[in-house]
Amino acid sequence: MRKLRSAGFERFLTKDLLASFVVFLVALPLCMGIAIASGLPPAAGLITGIVGGLIVGTLSGSPLQVSGPAAGLAVVVTELVQDYGIELLGPVLMMAGLIQWLAGTFKLGQLFRAMSPAVIYGMLSGIGVLILASQVHVMCNSKPYAHGVDNLLAIPKAIGDVFFLTDGGKHAIAAAIGVLTIIVLLLWETFKPRQFKLVPGALIAVVSSTVIATSFQLPIHYVDLPANLVQVIQLPRLDVLPRLFQVPLLLEAVAIAFIASAESLLSAAAVDRLHQGTRTNFDRELAAQGIGNLVCGALGVLPMTGVIVRSSVNVEAGARTRWSTVLHGAWLLALIMIAPGLLRLVPVASLAAILVYTGYKLIEVKHIRNLKQYGRFPVIIFFATLIGIILTDLLSGVLIGILLTMVAVIQKLSRFNIREIKCECDRRIDLHLEGAATFLRLPKLTSTTRKHPS
């Protein structure tokens, strides 16, 4: 018995403990960067990462999945804060978390996985375009616009500010730090030594740009982190709670719940393919995500999802149990409690560059090639969802994709062909049925058989 306990503890030290530290290093810059992209303080992203590790990691139905702030919801949060104010972010997120928890409790986890891949890929690509377009401005020391189209159209101006040394060259300096971050990230991911394969490129890139920026005291924006995390927490105000029952805010809550659930469960399914351990309980995972978002909403910070990037790193680093996920949240909490001054040295342009790269990675061209094998209509759904998200908003774009998917399903169900093949040898006629042979097609089938009485 003692030998078994000793072996378990040794495995914990060599596997889960190491993996938790690697995941912590990956999550640290992303938590802060996604918060900035969402229009919230960097500490809000760190708190969400802590909740994702300590609470959701403990309750999760996918032991090796890592939860935290996700780039996919940055767009929704930005629009919500701009349209309704930051005081309603927490209550809306609590409503979304309640929806997720109820869905998991009533065993609806599998339904979220039935979403058309064309809509999911279109949603991710649309999010990627919006994140890339907004963070280009942040990387150039400028403020992004409220809408995705405005950010796209203003990119030439942002580049012009860089090359014409507007504002005393601050735009150019910030852009140089951002470009350096991306170059270091790409070089590390391409040429990193085998013995350092677990060290994340994003961390190396941010550390490199931070050393340069602080050494030369460059006049750009740096991470603004309060001395006390309590200053970031925004408890829900009772006077705004009745507004939650307004239709636009209910739709915002449904959008957050839907996107967070779809991303979390798709990520969990992907994690299952990466290891041979315990399989995901999707209903439990969905309920755990709901509880996490309820807590984040009560604290007034960012929403969370299960994140495939951090989860795949967790598996690759050798994690065996949920302890790795839980401990990564503990490391985040320890860092901001013990050494917040280190985080204040990080240039905002460097974090924006990481998200520019993340947005680019979300726009996967191979998804279009994969959809082509199923015909033209899935490709049309993909582009309709993508363009709808860019021109309107995330929820509207996804609804467009879902509507077109329903049209495709109805069209497929309505197709019913009967081919008659005569066999001269024995005067037999074979009927080949193609499509959906429902009771609605019974008259057509009956009329065909009557033409050939036995």
Both 230 and 320 in one domain: the answer is yes
Both 361 and 435 in one domain: the answer is no
Query: Domain count of the chain?
Result: 2
Give the pLDDT confidence score for residue 14 in this predicted structure.
65
Both 277 and 194 in one domain: the answer is yes
Please report whether residue 404 resides in a domain: no
For helices 17-37 and 201-215, the axis angle rounded to 10 degrees is 60
**Domain final residue, candidates 312, 341, 373:** 373
Please report whether residue 402 resides in a domain: no
Both 422 and 365 in one domain: the answer is no
Please report whether residue 211 resides in a domain: yes
Both 422 and 341 in one domain: the answer is no
Q: How far apart (Å, rounded) are the C-alpha atoms in residues 332 and 53?
A: 9
Please report whether residue 392 resides in a domain: no
Question: Which phi-psi region, left, alpha or beta, contains residue 246 (left: φ > 0; alpha: ψ -120 to 50)?
Answer: beta
**Domain final residue, candidates 357, 373, 389:** 373
Domain residues for 436?
Answer: 416-450
Please report whether residue 177 resides in a domain: yes
Both 172 and 302 in one domain: the answer is yes
Please report whether residue 207 resides in a domain: yes
Q: How far apart (Å, rounded) are the C-alpha atoms in residues 211 and 419?
A: 73
Please report whether residue 274 resides in a domain: yes
Both 83 and 186 in one domain: the answer is yes
Residue type for position 379:
V
Residue type for position 196:
F
Q: How far apart (Å, rounded) are the C-alpha atoms in residues 123 and 384?
A: 10
Both 198 and 291 in one domain: the answer is yes
What is the maximal distance between C-alpha atoms in the chain?
A: 94
Please report whether residue 305 resides in a domain: yes
Give the pLDDT confidence score for residue 4 in this predicted structure.
44
pLDDT, tens digit only, all 454 positions of the chain: 554 455 555 555 567 888 899 899 889 998 999 998 898 999 999 999 999 999 999 999 999 999 999 887 888 899 899 889 999 999 999 999 999 999 999 998 877 666 778 888 888 888 889 889 999 999 998 888 878 888 999 999 999 999 988 888 899 999 999 999 999 999 998 998 888 887 888 889 999 999 999 999 999 999 988 877 788 888 888 888 888 888 899 999 998 998 899 889 888 888 888 888 888 999 999 999 999 999 999 999 999 999 888 898 888 888 888 999 999 999 999 998 888 889 999 999 999 999 899 888 888 888 888 888 888 889 999 999 999 989 987 778 888 998 998 888 777 777 767 777 777 666 677 777 776 666 656 676 677 676 766 5
Q: Are 100 and 289 in contact (CB under 8 A)?
A: yes
**Domain final residue, candidates 346, 373, 400:** 373
Both 14 and 135 in one domain: the answer is yes
